[in-house]
């Protein structure tokens, strides 16, 4: 196989957990972007509300909202099949509150729809989540959004002249229930996995509204047309928008999560795997690599001593773990069965070809990307890299308290000479204001200029150019080697 295809397919072939998760949204998201999915969800909600409102002459709002909740409760329960065993009283308390807020939110907004124009009701309802967002924000700019929304509500109200107090109060109640729903959704998500919480909450909301719906609806609840329209409202207002949002959110999750300085906690690893995220751990020796594999990571970044930035060493001394990439990678490859990603000093196609020859499945480049146009580091930092030499970097604790490789500068030498360096992360916190000021003023002598020993190979270019160059050079290097 040609080397570039091999490198690409190696990365793609890193084990993912999609097989363990059953239904996977990627088939849908590959065709629809998250933005389209959210827009479809919004349109669906509006159509659902429109149908519901057109029914109000013949069917009471309480009955329609109940039919909507029944529909979504049935669909969600069938999809999620929630596990109810071994649940604590606190789990039930949270999900009951969540279900009650869901029921009240839906019931109150339909009561409002029956009394004031749809657009005004939805706008007033939005005050609930908006207030929540502003209370949780410290940025003065966010208060301007509330004022704008309030102005919008006032303008809509003045123009139509169709407002009634009960309609407005029901919309505000719906907004308050929406805010409660948002507050409880995070806690419900923590206590109930996947869709379980929402499915149980939908059943609770349905049960809550059953007595008033049955007493108001009476024989209407046996009319197939009313049932069909209620189910359509349920699909359009709950099932379709929720599915669209869920698929959009899942497509926004990171595909890969990497960790350095140690092993991931078991519960975090389980949560990441449950979310179908590939987890990469960092190792600087083969013993660390074995521990990372044992912990359950899907791949290992083997960080050679040439690497720029912080050392990932977590078991044993930093000095002893200064193993060069060319020695480290094959030993790590032999020690583990998961894919190994070579890193440290790789700057061009020659380095990539060498890493692949050593048995790596992929490579990780840090310094090479720092001088790309898209990199957000100060220009003084980029300039320091392109003018540095291979003997111009060294390991230091001066900036953060943890050993990291960077270009030698005034800050590094003077702080090291002073001798008083606090442990990580104290030193890091203390030096941050100085580094921030240096970045603003473009003064490289006080910046942490993290960079690897391959500095002399760095180029100023666009990231796309770098990638294209790496692909071409790798092919050329392999051809030169007779592969
Ligand atoms: C500026 C900079 C920041 C880095 N930040 C991280 C990080 O947050 N997490 C991590 O695992 N590695 C980090 N690294 C280390 C890289 O993952 C990698 O080991 C290293 O860049 C590879 O060597 P190279 O710089 O010679 O390409 C960083 C490296 C640099 C240069």
Region 28-40: what's the mean pLDDT? 72
Which of 187, 190, 188 minimizes the C-alpha distance to 202?
Answer: 188
List b or e across 338-359, with b for residues whose CB sees 16 or more CB atoms inside 10 angstroms. bbbbbbbbbbbbbbbbbbbbbb
Share of the chain above pLDDT 90, in %: 62
Q: How far is CA 250 from the centre of its chain?
A: 9
Per mean pLDDT, which range of 67-76, 225-234, 251-260 is the poorest?
Answer: 251-260
Kindly give, in sequence order, each residue whose CB lies less than 8 Å from that of residue 137, ignoring residues fewer than 6 positions away.
Answer: none
Angstrom distance (rounded) from CA 311 to CA 400: 12
Q: pLDDT band for position 483 (50/70/90)?
A: low
Give me the sign of the Cα torsion angle 16, 340, 382, 377: positive
pLDDT band at 22 (very low <50, low <70, confident <90, very high): very low
Q: How many Å lie between the centroid of ligand 1 and the Cα of residue 407?
A: 14
End-to-end CA distance of the chain: 10
Decide if 293 contacts 333 (C-beta within 8 A).
Answer: no
Element spanning 310, H or E: strand 309-310
The larger pLDDT score, comparing residue 300 to residue 134, is at 300
**The 404-407 sheet, strands edge to edge:** 309-310, 404-407, 393-396
Spell out the domain ranges in the chain: 24-252, 378-458
Interval between CA 371 and ligand 1 midpoint (Å): 14
Q: How far is 120 from 117, CA to CA, in rounded Å? A: 6
Distance of CA 43 to the CA centre of its chain: 25
Cα(275)–Cα(296) distance, rounded to whole angstroms? 15
Q: How does the average pLDDT of the chain come out, rounded? A: 87
Task: Decide if pLDDT at 331 tops 50.
Answer: yes
- SS3 of 5-61: HHHHHHHHCCCCCHHHCCCCCHHHHCCCCHHHHHHHHHHHHHHHHHHHHHHCCCCCH
Q: Is the pLDDT of residue 108 over 50?
A: yes
**In what helix (H) or strand (E) does residue 300 lie, and over which residues does it extend?**
strand 299-303
**Residues 363-394: tens digit of each pLDDT:** 999 999 999 999 999 999 999 999 999 999 99
**Index of the ligand 1 atom closest to the CA of residue 454:** 26
For 43-68, how does the pLDDT look when each residue is reduced to its tens digit (9 = 90+)?
998 888 888 888 888 889 999 999 99
Ligand 1 midpoint to CA 475 (Å): 25
pLDDT digits (tens, 9 = 90+) for 71-81: 999 998 998 89
Cα of 310 from ligand 1 centre, angstroms: 7
| CA 357–ligand 1 middle distance (angstroms) | 22
Look at 248 and 391; give whichever has higher pLDDT. 391
User: Could you write out the DSSP letters of every residue in 213-262?
Assistant: HHHHHGGGGG-HHHHHHHHHHHIIIIIHHHHHHHHHHHHHS-SEEEE-SS
Tokens of 199: 């499915």
User: Which protein residue has the closest C-alpha to ligand 1 atom 17?
Assistant: 366
For 389, the token pair is 């030499």
Q: Which residue has the higher pLDDT, 104 or 219?
A: 104
Q: Whose CA is nearest to atom 10 of ligand 1?
A: 260
Q: Token pair of 65, please? A: 């909202």
| pLDDT reported for residue 23 | 34
Out of 191-195, 232-236, 304-308, 444-448, least confident range: 191-195
Report the separation in Å between the CA atom of 450 and the middle of ligand 1, taken as the mean of its atom positions: 8
Q: Which two tokens stand for residue 99?
A: 């279900």
Token couple for 31: 């065709």
Look at ligand 1, atom 28, and give the residue with the nearest C-alpha: 309
Pocket residues for ligand 1 (CB within 6 Å)? 258, 260, 282, 303, 306-309, 343-346, 364-368, 450-452, 454
Instruction: Return the pLDDT at 27.
Output: 45
Cβ contacts of residue 406 below 8 Å, gap of 6+? 308, 309, 393, 394, 396, 399, 412, 448, 449, 450, 451
């Amino acid at each position: 196989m040609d080397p570039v295809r091999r490198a690409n397919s190696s990365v793609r072939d890193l084990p993912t957990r999609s097989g363990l998760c059953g239904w996977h949204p990627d088939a849908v998201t590959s065709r629809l972007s998250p933005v389209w999915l959210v827009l479809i969800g919004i349109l669906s909600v509006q159509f659902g509300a429109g149908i519901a409102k057109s029914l109000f002459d013949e069917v009471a709002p309480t009955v329609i909202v109940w039919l909507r909740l029944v529909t979504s409760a049935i669909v969600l329960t069938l999809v999620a099949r929630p596990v109810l065993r071994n649940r604590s009283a606190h789990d039930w308390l949270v999900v009951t509150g969540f279900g009650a807020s869901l029921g009240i939110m839906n019931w109150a907004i339909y009561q409002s729809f029956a009394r004031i124009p749809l657009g005004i009701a939805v706008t007033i309802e939005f005050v609930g989540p908006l207030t929540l967002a502003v209370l949780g924000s410290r940025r003065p700019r966010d208060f301007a959004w509330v004022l704008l929304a309030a102005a919008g509500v006032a303008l809509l109200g003045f123009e139509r002249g169709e407002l009634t107090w009960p309609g407005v109060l029901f919309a505000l109640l719906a907004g308050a229930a929406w805010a409660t729903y948002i507050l409880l959704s995070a806690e419900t998500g923590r206590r109930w996995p996947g869709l379980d919480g929402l499915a149980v909450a939908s059943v609770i909301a349905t049960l809550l509204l059953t007595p008033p719906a049955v007493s108001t609806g009476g024989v209407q609840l046996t009319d197939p047309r009313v049932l069909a329209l209620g189910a359509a409202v349920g699909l359009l207002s709950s099932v379709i928008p929720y599915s669209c949002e869920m698929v959009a959110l899942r497509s926004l999750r990171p595909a890969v999560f990497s960790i350095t300085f140690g092993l991931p906690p078991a519960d975090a690893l389980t949560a990441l795997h449950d979310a179908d995220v590939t987890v990469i751990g960092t190792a600087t020796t083969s013993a660390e690599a074995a521990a990372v594999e044992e912990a359950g990571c899907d791949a290992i970044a083997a960080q050679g001593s040439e690497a720029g930035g912080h050392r990932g060493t977590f078991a044993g001394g930093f000095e002893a773990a200064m193993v060069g990439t060319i020695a480290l990678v094959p030993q790590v490859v032999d020690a583990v069965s998961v894919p190994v990603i070579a890193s440290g000093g790789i700057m061009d196609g020659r380095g990539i070809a060498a890493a692949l020859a050593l048995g790596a499945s992929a490579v990780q480049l840090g310094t090479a990307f720092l001088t790309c146009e898209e990199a957000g580091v100060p220009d003084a930092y980029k300039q320091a890299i392109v003018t540095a030499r291979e003997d111009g970097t060294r390991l230091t604790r001066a900036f953060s308290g943890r050993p990291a490789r960077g270009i030698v500068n005034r800050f590094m030498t003077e702080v090291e000479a002073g001798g008083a360096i606090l442990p990580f992360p104290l030193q890091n916190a203390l030096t941050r204001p100085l580094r921030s000021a240096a970045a603003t003023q473009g003064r490289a002598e006080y910046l942490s200029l993290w960079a690897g020993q391959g500095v002399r190979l760095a180029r100023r270019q666009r990231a796309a150019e770098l990638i294209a160059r790496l692909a071409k050079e790798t092919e050329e290097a392999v051809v030169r080697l007779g592969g």
